[in-house]
Amino acid sequence: MSDFSAACPLPLRDYPHVLLAHGGGGRLAHELIDTLFRAAFDNPLLAAAHDGAAFPSPAARLAFTTDCYVVRPLFFPGGDIGSLALYGTVNDLAMCGARPLYLSAGFILEEGLPMQTLWRVVQSMAAAAKRAGVSVVTGDTKVVERGNADGLYLNTAGLGAIGHGLWIAPAAVRPGDAILLSGDIGRHGIAVLAARAELELESSIESDCAPLAEPVQALIDAGIEVHCLRDLTRGGLAAAVLEVAQASRTGARLDEPAIRVGGAVRSACELLGFDPLHLANEGRFAAWVAAPDSERALTVLRARADTANAARIGSVTSSGRASVTIRGTLGTERVLDMPSGEQLPRIC
Amino acid sequence: MSDFSAACPLPLRDYPHVLLAHGGGGRLAHELIDTLFRAAFDNPLLAAAHDGAAFPSPAARLAFTTDCYVVRPLFFPGGDIGSLALYGTVNDLAMCGARPLYLSAGFILEEGLPMQTLWRVVQSMAAAAKRAGVSVVTGDTKVVERGNADGLYLNTAGLGAIGHGLWIAPAAVRPGDAILLSGDIGRHGIAVLAARAELELESSIESDCAPLAEPVQALIDAGIEVHCLRDLTRGGLAAAVLEVAQASRTGARLDEPAIRVGGAVRSACELLGFDPLHLANEGRFAAWVAAPDSERALTVLRARADTANAARIGSVTSSGRASVTIRGTLGTERVLDMPSGEQLPRIC
Q: What is the pLDDT of residues B230-280, one digit of tens each?
A: 999 999 999 999 999 998 999 999 999 999 999 999 999 999 899 999 999
Query: So what's the pLDDT on residue B321?
Result: 67
Closest approach of A142 to chain B, Cα-based (Å): 7
Strand partners, A311: A181
The dihedrals phi and psi of B119, each to the nearest 5 degrees, come to -65, -40
- Residue B149 has its nearest CB partner, among A91, A98, A149, at A149
Residue B342, pLDDT above cutoff 90 = no
pLDDT digits (tens, 9 = 90+) for A105-138: 999 999 999 999 999 999 999 999 999 999 999 9
Mean pLDDT of A149-173: 95
Give the closest-approach CA distance of A341 to chain B in angstroms: 4
Average the pLDDT over B298-309 and give the result: 98
Say whether B233 and A64 touch across the interface (CB within 8 A): no
Which residues, at least 6 apart from A90, have a Cβ–Cβ distance to it below 8 Å? A100, A103, A132, A134, A158, A211, A212, A213
Among A52, A139, A243, select the one facing B63 at the smallest CB separation. A52
Separation in Å, CA of A63 to nearest CA in chain B: 4
Mean pLDDT score, A178-197: 95
Which residues from B are below 8 Å from A140, CB to CB?
A: 66-68, 155
> Mean pLDDT across the stretch B208-218?
98
DSSP for B251-266 reads EEEEEGGGS---HHHH
Distance from A293 to chain B by nearest Cα, in Å?
23
Cβ separation of B25 and A149 shorter than 8 Å?
Answer: no
Residues of B in contact with A84 (CB under 8 A): none
Name the minimum distance, in Å, from the CA of A221 to any CA of chain B.
Answer: 19
List pLDDT tens digits, range B145-192. 999 999 999 999 999 999 999 999 999 999 999 999 999 999 999 999
The DSSP bridge pattern shows strands A285-289 and A178-181 to be: antiparallel
Q: What are the strands of the beta sheet with A61-69, ordered from one edge?
A: A135-144, A99-110, A152-162, A61-69, B53-56
- List the single residue in A with minimal CA-CA distance to B71: A144
Residues of chain A in contact with residue B145, where contact means CB-CB under 8 angstroms, are: 345-346
Residue B233 C-alpha, separation from nearest chain A C-alpha, in angstroms? 8
Q: Is the pLDDT of residue A200 over 90?
A: no
Contact A235 B56 (CB under 8 A): no
* Structure confidence at residue B74 as a pLDDT band (50, 70, 90): very high
- Average pLDDT on B115-140 reads 97
Angle at A190 between CA A187 and CA A195, to 5 degrees: 120
Q: What pLDDT, on the 0 to 100 scale, is given for residue A50?
A: 75
Which amino acid belongs to residue B109? L
pLDDT-based confidence at residue A1 (cuts at 50, 70, 90): very low
The per-residue pLDDT for B1 is: 43
Q: Compute, in degrees rounded to 10, the torsion defined by CA atoms B178, B183, B189, B191.
A: 180
Q: Is the pLDDT of residue A46 over 90?
A: no
Q: Given an 8 Å threshold on Cβ–Cβ distance, is B280 in contact with A25?
A: yes
Task: Please judge whether B68 and A145 are an interchain contact, meaning their C-beta atoms are less than 8 angstroms apart.
Answer: no
When CB atoms are compared, the residue of A24, A59, A66 closest to B234 is A24
For chain A, the average pLDDT equals 93
What pTM was estimated for this model as a whole?
0.95
Q: What is the mean pLDDT of chain B?
A: 93
Which pLDDT score is estimated for B343? Answer: 67
ipTM at complex level: 0.95
Q: What is the pLDDT of residues A257-300, one digit of tens each?
A: 999 999 999 999 999 899 999 999 999 999 999 999 999 999 99
Instruction: Kindly determine whether residue B150 and residue A140, on different chains, have CB atoms separated by under 8 Å.
Output: no
On the CB side of A263, how many CA atoms lie within 13 Å of its CA? Answer: 2
Nearest residue on chain B to A34, alpha-carbon basis = B247
Q: Is the pLDDT score of A3 beyond 70? A: no
To 10 degrees, what angle do helices B213-221 and B294-302 make?
A: 130
From the CA atom positions of chain A, what is the Rg in Å?
21
What distance in Å separates the CA atoms of residue A266 and residue A284, rounded to the nearest whole number?
17
Q: Which of A22, A65, A338 sits opposite B26 (nearest CB)?
A: A338
Residues of B in contact with A20 (CB under 8 A): 341-342, 345
Cα dist from A320 to A251, A253, A317, A331, whole Å = 7, 11, 8, 20
pLDDT surpasses 60 at A209 = yes
